Amino acid sequence: SVAYLNGEFLTLEHATVPVLDRGFLFGDGVYEVIPVYAGKTFRFSSHISRLHKSLSAILMNFELPESDWLALCEGLIERNEFENASIYLQVTRGSYIDRHHDIPTLGEPTVFAMISPLPPVQKDWQASDIKSYSVITEDDIRWQRCDIKAITLLANCMLKQKALESGADDTILVRNGEASEATSSNLFIVRDGVIITPPLSEHLLAGVTREFILTLAQRHGIPFEERAIPEHELELADEIWLTSSTKEIRPVIKVNDVTIGDGVAGPVWRQMYQYYQELKE
């Protein structure tokens, strides 16, 4: 596929960065994953404003006008002719002659983007078309700034791998007895018709999908709360969902071998998923 690197469109195989790039040496960079439906980016401004927040949080004084980011992403969409896709966009601090922990004054950042296909938008979807997840819970071994979309994802990968090795699909992370999010998605539960998601904090990412679901809930009069979810409450939930730009809204039907609700995707999920699909077109 055609990718983007530092001002140039080129095939992915030809996109290479120097070994002295601080992204390679220190994991010194941030990223975004932006969905594309019917050739158009979805919730673009929210992704770019989060990217700028992440950059400023890691002390990188680098911002482009949203229209420049859009031109970059549209360049990828046109060149690859994907209808539905996700764009991976990464900015690292760039290359410097020596390896120093000191954060250097910003030179040229490395801006990289690639695109990969997502499944087609289905108008007449059945609940059985959407894969339900089983999850485990684990202590959150990540750092204290999970609100930054940093490229340093080793802990996330290890926590995800734990789930796969125990025959589950993902891991819900627990800190101080509270469930915060999963390894690459936000967490929602439903109890007695009320949608509940943990409040924003430095322990989880401010998901664009999370925000969008709260907006949809508000718009359609579905009650919701942003409050802490103690780990033990997961088993008591009628429904559990994981949300992200690529997973959209994923029903969870098992937590540590305990069946959630009726063991199938629930009615509030079905309604919310429908609202979400209607807005993708």
Q: How far apart are the first and last CA of the chain?
A: 25
| Residue 4 or 241 with smaller CB distance to ligand PDD | 241
Smallest gap from Cβ 109 to ligand PDD, in A, equals 20
Q: Is 185 in the site for ligand PDD (CB under 6 A)?
A: yes
202 CB-near residues (< 8 Å, 6+ apart): 144, 145, 146, 147
- Retrieve residue 54's tokens: 């992440």
Q: Is 207 in the site for ligand PDD (CB under 6 A)?
A: yes
Q: Is 246 in the site for ligand PDD (CB under 6 A)?
A: yes
d(CA 99, CA 26): 9
Q: Are 280 and 42 in contact (CB under 8 A)?
A: yes
Q: Is 208 in the site for ligand PDD (CB under 6 A)?
A: yes
Q: Is 186 in the site for ligand PDD (CB under 6 A)?
A: yes
Q: Is 171 in the site for ligand PDD (CB under 6 A)?
A: no
Smallest gap from Cβ 104 to ligand PDD, in A, equals 27
Q: Is 181 in the site for ligand PDD (CB under 6 A)?
A: yes
d(CA 40, CA 37): 5
Identified catalytic residue from 40, 123, 149, 247: 149
d(CA 244, CA 181): 11
Query: What's at 230, amino acid-wise?
Result: P
Burial status of residue 96 (CB atoms within 10 A of its CB: 0-12, 13-18, 19 or more): middle
Residue 162 appears among annotated catalytic residues = no
Q: Is 138 in the site for ligand PDD (CB under 6 A)?
A: no
| Residue 115 or 205 with smaller CB distance to ligand PDD | 205
Question: Residues interacting with ligand PDD, by CB under 6 A?
Answer: 33, 181, 184-186, 205, 207-210, 243-246
* Catalytic residue set: 149
